[in-house]
Amino acid sequence: LLQANEEKRNLALREVGNHLHESVPVSNDEDENKVERMYSNCEKQAKYSHVDLIVMIDGMNGDKGAVVSGGRGYFLTGPAVFLEQALIQHALHMLYAKNYTPLYTPFFMRKEVMQEVAQLSQFDEELYKVVGKGSERAEEGSSDEKYLIATSEQPIAAYHRDEWLSESALPIKYAGLSTCFRQEVGSHGRDTRGIFRVHQFEKVEQFVLTSPHDNKSWEMMGEMIGNAEDFCQSLGIPYRIVNIVSGALNHAAAKKLDLEAWFPGSGAFRELVSCSNCLDYQARRLLVRYGQTKKMNASVDYVHMLNATMCATTRVICAILENHQTETGVTVPEPLKKYMPEIYREEIPFVKPAPIELEAASANSKKVSKNNKKDRAA
């Protein structure tokens, strides 16, 4: 009975959120997110949105993707494949130059480990469950329950599970690369066209473990959002940095900054990056402790953990398409040129008409046909 009550108490405690930093705006209304700074021209307008542009460069096939994998399914095609790989290379090289260790992570996590890095709502709204026949060590006939990762933050957070990390070893900085899988249950009906919000995408993620003392994690948060800003600036993407209100934070985050890119064809800011300082919230669950070993009669310290997007490829592709569109195609940002085939090194040409114009022409044709029928009837 005592053990059952202890487990019940621990489950309840997992749904208690982190301490918030004093700079976090206290509100449940996301309209009250605080804009911290802006970069470049966030008012310019452009002709086409990414929904049209990805089709115009023949960069995706959504119809066949939906047939094969269902709603929000897609095939990246031709130049978009090279553009995605170029973005991954550019992001990894930028982080490697700043002493981030690249990690290519597992896509599956055991249920008991995922429970230590994800909150309950994510299991319902975000995570895909995968059930297999069981591992080689399992009893015959048993099932092996795992979850697909929504971000490489999840497996990397568990990388040092149940370890003691010495002061001299910190900070430990990782550049995680993985495919990410998200159900997007809460976004029904939003961004159903194009590749901005999809169930599967590639992402380069920053993940850092720091000392819990001397504001080290807050200094690191500044470095990590700075890396994301450098990345977007190198690609010529205008953006703003937004301090997210308390009511929109997940349990783990003590503070979250989003980088929202300006999409001139859509006339809107869209999130490309989230950067969170989780303090010791995740480390306590995972037992990632600070110091060599526990000293006599001393309380245990836990490392601080931070995460930040560097590049969610499909979203960055959308931002590049809208911000670098010309009359004839899409200009390739300078840092990506060396990774592109020669035919696409300067510009990715338009090879198909804009869907929005085809739809308008079709609607106009139907209207004319309808009017002609009325005239004949008269």
Query: In DSSP terms, which residues pair with 145 in a beta bridge?
Result: 131
Residue 341: is the preceding peptide bond cis (ω within 30°)?
Answer: no
Check whether 182 is labelled as a binding-site residue: yes
Check whether 181 is labelled as a binding-site residue: no
Instruction: With beta carbons less than 8 A apart as the criterion, state whether 151 and 180 touch.
Output: yes
Check whether 2 is labelled as a binding-site residue: no
Check whether 151 is labelled as a binding-site residue: yes
Q: Strands 239-243, 34-39: parallel, antiparallel or unpaired by DSSP?
A: antiparallel
Write out the two tokens for 229. Answer: 């800003």
What is the C-alpha radius of gyration for the chain, rounded to an integer number of angstroms? 24
Check whether 271 is labelled as a binding-site residue: yes
Question: What phi and psi, each to the nearest 5 degrees, are found at residue 143?
Answer: -105, 155
Span between the terminal Cα atoms of the chain, in Å:
86
Strands (E), 62-148: 75-76, 101-104, 108-110, 129-132, 144-148
Check whether 309 is labelled as a binding-site residue: no
How many Cα atoms occupy the beta-carbon half-sphere of 166 within 13 Å? 3
Check whether 273 is labelled as a binding-site residue: yes
Q: Strands 239-243, 129-132: parallel, antiparallel or unpaired by DSSP?
A: unpaired
Check whether 199 is labelled as a binding-site residue: yes
Task: Give the whole-angstrom CA distance, residue 347 versus residue 341.
Answer: 11
Q: Which residues are annotated as a binding site?
A: 151, 182-184, 198-201, 205, 271-274, 307
Q: Which residues are annotated as a binding site for ATP?
A: 182-184, 198-201, 271-274
Q: Which residues are annotated as a binding site for L-serine?
A: 151, 182, 205, 307
